[in-house]
Chain A
Amino acid sequence: MYSYDYLWLIPFFPLLGAIINGFLGKKIKSEKVIGGLGTLAIAGSFAVSCFYFFQLLNDPQKVHQQVIGSWMSVGRLQVDWGFLLDPLSALMILIVSGVGSLIHLYSIGYMHGEEGFYRFFSYLNLFCFSMLMLVLGNNALVMFIGWEGVGLCSYLLIGYYFHKKSAGDAAKKAFVVNRVGDFGFLLGLFLLFWTLGSDHGVWTLNFVEIAANAHLLGAGSAVVTIVTLCFFIGATGKSAQIPLYTWLPDAMEGPTPVSALIHAATMVTAGVYMIGRMNVLFFMAPSTMMVVAIVGAATALFAATIGLAQNDIKRVLAYSTVSQLGYMFLAMGVGAFTAGIFHLMTHAFFKACLFLGSGSVIHAMHHGLHHAHSHDDPQDMRNMGGLRKKMPITYITFLVSAIAIAGIPGFSAFFSKDEILWFAFASPQGSPWLWAVGACAAGLTAFYMFRLVHMTFHGAQRTAAKARDHIHESPLVITIPLMVLGLLAVVGGYVGIPHVIGNALGHIPNYLDNFLHPVFGATQAQAHGAASTEVSLMVVSVALAVIGILLASWMYLWQPELPGKFVANFKGAYRTIHNKWYVDEIYDAMFINPTKRLGTFLWKGFDVQVIDGIVNGTGKVINAFSKGLRFTQSGFVHNYAMTMVVGMVVIVAFFLFR
């Protein structure tokens, strides 16, 4: 028998770290102590996570719940403070705490000397706590706490450089857009809770019970479709999918470790995780699955096109993240839950590495430009170039991750991406079109990633000459996480070798598939197709990736004048892409301005003009006719009294005549 009594320690450590750093950080002052404490806290939960992960590997029983206490009891509904450990959450806590530890370590170096160092670590710990609650919660409400908590921390961290107005705006945008999504989540929850309860007598929010009773709703029924669609809206908000993705690129205003941890590796994947958690429900709603797949594929392609024309190094990575998240949703949508989670994992490795690498570059650039008293943008790739020699470790890890994301065989993303593409093609919900979109996006990904690599690390040095000499490799505390993540970006994929390759190499099993089987076994789609088809599709997508890389090298390395000509010839197209297809502007015009106007109208228009207008206006009209009549000259008390009387009349009339 195995015991799982200390699961609560996993979220507890970061919470403790957040509290200590938050309240005592200002007194502690020493960056080493604060950073060490923060890192230790999350490393502690990593250790516990590892312990439970391996215990679960050996344990024949794969689903465990630990209930700490009762939270709310509403009628027949009992909501507990409870945790759920199954292969899915075990994998997630490992990713969150593992990548989290590395990024905490990295932050010690990156945030060195920043004002409010303790604040940063406190928020970061708080984020890890929320994220771990999100993945460990055994019911939808505990998950919702985490869901809200990560949103809040993301908001606080995006706005970390609060003196920059853009940072504050970006933070607010992220929070508000996320809330639009949250709302879908809550609605779905209400609806699920209500229909399961009132129609089928199962009042529950517990995931295990929901999964066990989901069949009562009836596969393909309207309720399931609506519920899952609501959940999916929630997922699009948190995971930056069309149409709610606009906050993520702006979120790059936050410090780079934050972008790596929250906006690449963990929080933005919460939507994918949530769909995985609710896989039984989604399995029963094929129409929703189709929507998920189409939105995912469209996002993958759409974001990749925007990534082609960005010059800010972090923005390219941001759009790349949106695009990769699109892949994960594509996987979920075609029923390849394992593949989606697999890509989530590999993406966490290589994207975190890419972001941290870009952070290392920005750090160095900033340092160099600072010495040269230059006001060039340290994040603009047009000011970089030829950094390979200056920053060898950063360069190598970055290159490795870029190769991985491009999908070159042997590297992690190759395995996960090709599994997704294969399912997109061959699963019952898949279609060749989905595959084609995904493969195109893969080609574009390879192109813009190598555009990034070339503009940053290869070619001529475009940095101002004075600054150039001051650019040097980052300290170990920054490069160690890079190396670990770079290594993982290479080997991380070998836990999930596709069957077709595994068979060819002599019966290597797909470990991840087997591990996640208890969660997804019943709902996972089966891909039908010949091994030869799978191999040829693989070849095509790899070929597309290679073409993308070569094209990028040709344009940005061998013929550097080409992009300029290209832009000059296709001005309109370039500008559209560069301006992100004008989506922000369209949203402003369509939703935000009308809402603002409605608010102003109700405030000024309704309160002031309509109410005052009716009373004042009538008063003035009568006044105009006869000055002697001070009959309805109204001050404000009159307005209020008048409204009350009108309300009274309406209410009494309502009762009498209804």
Chain B
Amino acid sequence: MSPTVYHYLTLSAILFSMGTIGVLTRRNAIVIFMCIELMLNAVNLSFIALSRHLGNLDGQIFVFFVMAVAAAEAAVGLALMITFFRNRESIEVDDINLLKW
């Protein structure tokens, strides 16, 4: 049995959920960011599967955009984490709690 689009979509949904749960549960900001990347890539998988299923290229083009944007986001995000680390010597999100209430 060859995989159909539904299999891909299911896999993508599972990956997306894993990413979401990871964001909710991990403490290290970098790991959280990796989980977000996982979510984005899950979406990419959906896009590609759908693009092939529908027979048009829009989805694949979208994936390129997402990848480019994710790269830019990673650059900025890691820079922010480094400055945070310099000040606090920590990258645990539990330490990001100066501003509250």
Contact pattern, A 608-622, Cβ under 8 Å of B = 1, otherwise 0: 100000000000000
B43-74 vs A, CB cutoff 8 Å, 1 = contact: the mask equals 00000000000000000000000000000000
Judge if A637 is at the interface, Cβ distance under 8 Å: yes
For the residues of B in contact with A, the DSSP-based class is: helix
Are A632 and B24 in touch, CB under 8 angstroms? yes
* Inter-chain contacts of A608 with B (CB < 8 A): 101
Identify which of B23, B25, B95, B100 gathers the most chain A CB atoms within 10 Å of its CB: B25
A165: interface (CB < 8 Å)? no
* Contacting residues, chain A, for B100 (C-beta < 8 A): 636
What's the least CB distance linking B32 to chain A, in Å?
8
Chain A contributes a number of interface residues (CB within 8 A of B) equal to 16
Are A638's CB and B95's CB within 8 A? Answer: no
- A residues in contact with B92, CB < 8 Å: 635
Name the interface residues of B22-38: CB closer than 8 Å to any CB of A.
Answer: 23-25, 27, 32
CB distance from A503 to the nearest CB of B (A): 74
- List of B residues within 8 angstroms of A636 by Cβ: 93, 96-97, 100
A interface, by DSSP: helix, strand, loop or mixed? helix
Instruction: Say yes or no: is A603 at the interface (Cβ < 8 Å to chain B).
Output: yes
- Among A483-504, those with CB < 8 Å from B are none
**In the bound complex, how far is the Cα of B73 from the Cα of A371, in angstroms?**
75
A584: interface (CB < 8 Å): no
Name the distance in Å between B70's Cβ and chain A's nearest Cβ: 18
CB distance from A602 to the nearest CB of B (A): 12
Q: Which residues of B contact A645 (CB under 8 A)?
A: 20, 24
Contact between chains at A603 and B101 (CB < 8 Å): yes
Q: Report which residue of A631, A637, A642 has the largest number of chain B beta carbons within 10 angstroms of its beta carbon.
A: A637
Q: Within the complex, what minimum Cβ distance (angstroms) separates A639 from chain B?
A: 10
A641 within 8 A of B: yes
Check B20 against A638 for contact (C-beta < 8 Å).
no
CA–CA, A538 and B93, complex, Å:
82
- Nearest-neighbour CB distance to chain A for B40, whole angstroms, equals 15
Q: How large is the interface on B (under 10, 10 to 19, 20 to 34, 35 or more residues)?
A: 10 to 19
**Closest chain B residue to A630 by CB distance?**
B27
Q: Which residue of B lies closest to A648 (CB)?
A: B20
Tell me how far the C-beta of B84 lies from the nearest C-beta in chain A, rounded to whole angstroms. Answer: 12
Contact of B24 among A603, A604, A630, A642 (CB under 8 A): A642
> Is the CB–CB distance between A638 and B101 below 8 Å?
no
A109 to chain B, nearest CB (A): 52
Note all chain B residues with C-beta closer than 8 A to A604.
101
The answer to whether B94 has its CB under 8 Å from any CB of chain A is yes
Tell me whether B93 and A637 are in contact (CB under 8 A): yes
Let me know if A469 is at the binding interface, CB within 8 A: no
- Separation in Å of the B48 CB from the closest CB of chain A? 23
Contact assessment for A635 and B101 in the assembled complex, using a CB-CB cutoff below 8 Å: no
* Across-interface contacts of B24 in A (CB, < 8 A): 632, 638, 641-642, 645
| A633 interfacial contact with B, CB 8 Å | yes
What's the nearest-Cβ distance from chain A to residue B38, in Å?
14
Q: How far is the CA of A633 from the CA of B93 in the complex (A)?
A: 10
The docked-state distance in angstroms from the alpha carbon of A226 to that of B33 is: 57
Task: Out of B94, B95, B96, B101, name the residue touching A607 (CB < 8 Å).
Answer: B101
Q: How far is the CB of A19 from chain B (nearest CB, A)?
A: 42
- When distances are taken between beta carbons in the complex, the residues of chain B under 8 Å from A634 are 94
CA distance A603 to B101 in the complex (A): 8
Measured between alpha carbons, how far is A633 from B92 in the docked complex, in Å?
11
Contacting residues of chain A (10-68) with chain B, CB-CB under 8 angstroms: none
Would A631 and B25 count as touching, CB distance under 8 A?
yes
- Interface mask (A640-658 → B, CB under 8 Å = 1, otherwise 0): 0110010000000000000
Complex Cα distance, B96 from A645, in Å, reads: 20
Q: Which of B94, B95, B96 contacts A633 (CB under 8 A)?
A: B94
Q: Mark B85-99, 1 if CB is under 8 A from A, else 0.
A: 000000011111100
- Min Cβ gap A235→B in Å is 41
Instruction: State A642–B101 Cα separation when bound (angstroms).
Output: 16
State the CA gap A636–B96 with chains docked (Å). 7
A400→B43 CA distance, assembly (Å): 87
Which residue from A630, A631, A637 sits with its C-beta under 8 Å from B96? A637
Q: B101 — which chain A residues lie within 8 A by C-beta?
A: 603-604, 607-608
Closest 7 CB pairs of A and B: A635-B94, A637-B93, A635-B93, A636-B97, A641-B23, A641-B24, A642-B24
The 8 sampled A-B contact pairs (Cβ below 8 Å) are A604-B101, A608-B101, A630-B27, A632-B24, A633-B94, A635-B27, A635-B95, A635-B96
